[in-house]
Amino acid sequence: MGQAKIKGNRQRAETEKRKADAPNQPAILIPPSETAEEENTPAVQKTIIIDISQVPKERQTDPLFLCCLADVRAKLNDLEEIRAICIHEAAHLFYMTKAGMKDPEFSGPRITYNKQTGLYDRYGASVRCPNRDEALLSTMTVGEWAFRIAKAHAAGGVAAQVLAGRPKTDSGDSEDRTNFNTAYKMICDRCPTQTTTSDEMWNEAQRILAIELQEAPRRELILSITDAIKPDLFKS
């Protein structure tokens, strides 16, 4: 859960790929902008690591991979992009804890290779909570827990829209929805009395989140989490 997927910009990436060198290591450092000092604009940070360990060595000279890499590099030199990704993950984390998940683990930018399609996926960052708060879970019904799971999955995309001003088409939640569908099917299989459809659950979660994220205390809390987790998401 909690993967902020970077949408591709093919035209810009095609331009950048002509300048990109083939990587020869499993993680790539993004240097600060060379023109930052001249423009009196600070670089995002000294270096940002992009994990390419899931891309086979022989694919790392593929023009399509270099296209993806160039696009990720460009986006990670955009302060607004960094902020939006952090907000996306902070909202996931906040609502994960409400759903009885704990002990967060963070992953930074990465590119993966899909053997079945021959394509590459780009991720800005992700957060997961591998353990469960059994005490909290014991206070919920299955229906309540399922709805909190829906909110945890949907929170990143809604927060990207409400708190980062991203359009719905660029909120990075397509994979979150797929992951929720999988999780919710497992819940329904184990509890046949859970008859609400995944579409109904997801749409209602988004509706409630859009309201909750307008509330000043909740909004400020998520923004404070945003600042706190940034070093864990974008390591140098």
Per-residue pLDDT tens over the stretch 183-200: 999 999 999 999 999 999
Exposure letters 130-161 (e unless 16+ CB within 10 A, then b): eeebeebeeeeeeeebbbbbbbbbbbbbbbbb
**pTM value?**
0.81
Per-residue model confidence (pLDDT) at position 11: 40
Per-residue model confidence (pLDDT) at position 215: 97
Per-residue model confidence (pLDDT) at position 41: 41
Considering only CA atoms, which of 20, 5, 11, 72 is closest in space to residue 44?
72
Considering only CA atoms, which of 225, 227, 234 is closest in space to residue 93?
225
Per-residue model confidence (pLDDT) at position 168: 84
123, 188 contact by CB (below 8 A): no
Query: What CA–CA distance (Å, rounded) separates 229 from 222?
Result: 11
Mean pLDDT across 22-38? 43
Mean pLDDT across 60-87? 95
Percentage above 70 pLDDT, the chain: 81
How large is the C-alpha radius of gyration of the chain?
A: 19
Per-residue model confidence (pLDDT) at position 29: 55
The answer to whether residue 218 scores a pLDDT higher than 60 is yes
